[in-house]
Chains A and B, each alone.
Chain A
Amino acid sequence: MITAGCDIGSLTAKAVILRDGKIIGSEVIRAVRSPEDSANRVMEAALSAAGISLDDIEYCVGTGYGRKHIPFVNAVESEIACHARGAVWQVPSARTVVDIGGQDAKAIKVSAEGDVLRYVYNDKCASGTGRFLEIIADALEIPLEKMGEISGKSTERLTLSNQCVVFAETEIISLVNEGKETADIINALHHAVAGRAASLARGIVVEGDVVMTGGVARNEGMFSALAAALGVELLSVENPQINGAIGAALFALQALKGSSLGDEEKQTEGERVMA
């Protein structure tokens, strides 16, 4: 059985293809303006990685903020549900999922079956999301992907006093002008973003094995900063950025196997805790 999941986020688009529950192709691209185009491009790339064509996909589930605009899906599913499902598939012992995306952050308490029990979600404030890192990377003229590596060289512990991205950017520019080391500044930034995400996550009680998903999890500095902020041993997943797409592909598999998906909202009927 071949199923696919397509996750159209604000910054990146991801596609995953599963054959009998194993990943045979996946792709991450930078999202373009139109979600339709992002979806077509990323799926084409994933199909070519898997060496198959769109007709071979028996069922496809879409997720992410652009999910309603994906031309080729059979059903859509919420991001929260897909991240929960994907995380438990990647790390079966996971009971808490902290996902930091490009424009949001979420913390989800999940069951052993990968169902959502409770969740908190922030898309109102850029602080605590990947956008914070991106803005500062731009300001410091550092590639986003290098931030983890650079922060590893930090020797002095600095603390940002501002939570707001706009104010923190000014604060960071003054730190640069004071001659502070870039590694120390980025390390302080990671701790600031992690602190915000952790205080969001405390809205659901963080317990059991905790995993971090989302593209930001690939940044090792952010990973260890979040572990420190949560005060837990954080588990890593093999494919953090495509976790939502994996979850979508798993929902597709479930649909093929005959258990109906129900409506989209119902899958996340776990209680939303207000941040």
Chain B
Amino acid sequence: MIVAGCDVGSLTSKAVLMKDGRMLESHVIKSKARPWESAEVVMGEVLKRAGISRSDVGYCVATGYGRSKIEFADEAVSEIACHGKGARWLLPTARTVIDIGGQDCKALRLDARGDMEKFITNDKCASGTGRFLEVMAGVLGLALEEMGGMSARASNPITLASACTVWAQADVIQQVNDRVPVEDIAAGINNAMASRMAVLVNNIGLERDVCMTGGVAKNDGVVSALEKLLGIRIKRIRRSDPQIAGAIGAALFAAEKATGGRL
């Protein structure tokens, strides 16, 4: 049976099609103004790419902040649960998952079977979320994807005095005006992201292996700064795009539900 997972986030929306535990197709779009529009577009596109129609999908689970507003989904499952499950599929040895979303960030600790032991989320403060990086990339005139590579080229990373996005933005503007090299500023921003993540991870207690999901997992600067702070190696996800972990988890829940397994 073909199942689907749809993760509607604040910045991007993702859809995944799976069959018998294998991924058939996935797709990521920039989110639209309304969550149901995002869901329609991303699901339409993933079905088109797979060459199937909606009636071929046996069960669909939605997740993400817009999950309750997606009409075609059979069920909505929390982001925490989906991210944990998706991360385990991407990296079966994962025990600690750090997920940075567009407007939130979370750290999860799983037991040896992959069940949730403990988690912590922040969606109250933009600091440490994708939004922080987005604001700072905007000030530096860089694309979000360019931020990660800057750390490796930095010779003297700046230290941001404040974690608050508003104060840090003022700080970064000042550094730009002082003609500090953009690599050094970007590296300082990546380091600031990493230190917020380290606080979350230390709060739940680290268990190996550790992996990162969400779009920021593709930012090498943040990942390697976090490795330094935690003093461990973060396992890189290679099986698929770390950004679609939540949608993968949703599709895996859909498969369990459709086959009468545990949910």
Contact = CB atoms under 8 A, between A and B. Distances in A.
Given A125-B164, A126-B167, A131-B166, A166 B124 contact: no
B240 interface: no
Interface string B120-141: 0000111000011001000000
A165 B163 contact: no
B131 A166 contact: yes
Contacts of A135: 166
B131 to A, nearest CB: 6
A245 to B, nearest CB: 24
B165 interface: yes
Contact of B126 (A103, A124, A166): A166
Given A166-B131, A166-B135, A167-B103, A126 B164 contact: yes
Interface string A138-172: 00000000000000000000000011111100000
Nearest to A167: B126
Q: Which bucket holds chain A's interface residue count?
A: 10 to 19
B166 A165 contact: yes
A166 B136 CA distance: 12
B203 interface: no
B156 interface: no
A86 B159 CA distance: 36
A126 B103 contact: no
A163 B124 contact: yes
Contacts of B163: 124
Interface in B161-213: 162-167
B184 to A, nearest CB: 21
Interface residues of B, number: 13
A155 B132 CA distance: 34
Interface in B83-110: 103
Please classify the interface of chain A as helix (H, G, I), strand (E, B), loop, or mixed, using the class held by over half of its residues: loop
B165 A166 contact: yes
Interface in A58-74: none
Contacts of A167: 103, 126, 131
A126 B126 contact: no
Nearest to A126: B166
A164 B126 contact: yes
Contacts of A162: 124
Interface string A206-241: 000000000000000000000000000000000000
Contacts of B125: 125, 163-164
A131 B163 CA distance: 15
B162 A124 contact: yes
Contacts of A165: 126, 165-166
Contacts of B124: 162-164
A166 B132 CA distance: 9
A11 B165 CA distance: 18
Interface string A101-122: 0010000000000000000000
A126 B164 CA distance: 7
Interface in A189-212: none
B257 to A, nearest CB: 31
Nearest to A131: B166
Contacts of A131: 166
A162 B163 CA distance: 18
Nearest to A135: B166
A210 B203 CA distance: 38
Contacts of A125: 125, 164
Nearest to A10: B170
Contacts of A164: 124-126, 165
A122 to B, nearest CB: 10
B203 to A, nearest CB: 18
A132 to B, nearest CB: 8
Contacts of B135: 166
Kindly name the residue among B132, B162, B163 whose own CB sees the greatest number of chain A CB atoms within 10 A: B162
Contacts of B162: 124
Q: Which 7 A-B pairs have the closest CB atoms?
A: A126-B166, A166-B126, A166-B165, A164-B125, A164-B126, A165-B166, A125-B164
Interface of B: 103, 124-126, 131-132, 135, 162-167
Given A135-B166, A162-B124, A167-B126, 17 more contacts: A124-B163, A125-B125, A126-B165, A126-B166, A126-B167, A163-B124, A163-B125, A164-B124, A164-B125, A164-B165, A165-B126, A165-B165, A165-B166, A166-B126, A166-B131, A166-B135, A166-B165
29 contacts: A103-B167, A124-B162, A124-B163, A124-B164, A125-B125, A125-B164, A126-B164, A126-B165, A126-B166, A126-B167, A131-B166, A135-B166, A162-B124, A163-B124, A163-B125, A164-B124, A164-B126, A164-B165, A165-B126, A165-B165, A165-B166, A166-B126, A166-B131, A166-B132, A166-B135, A166-B165, A166-B166, A167-B103, A167-B126
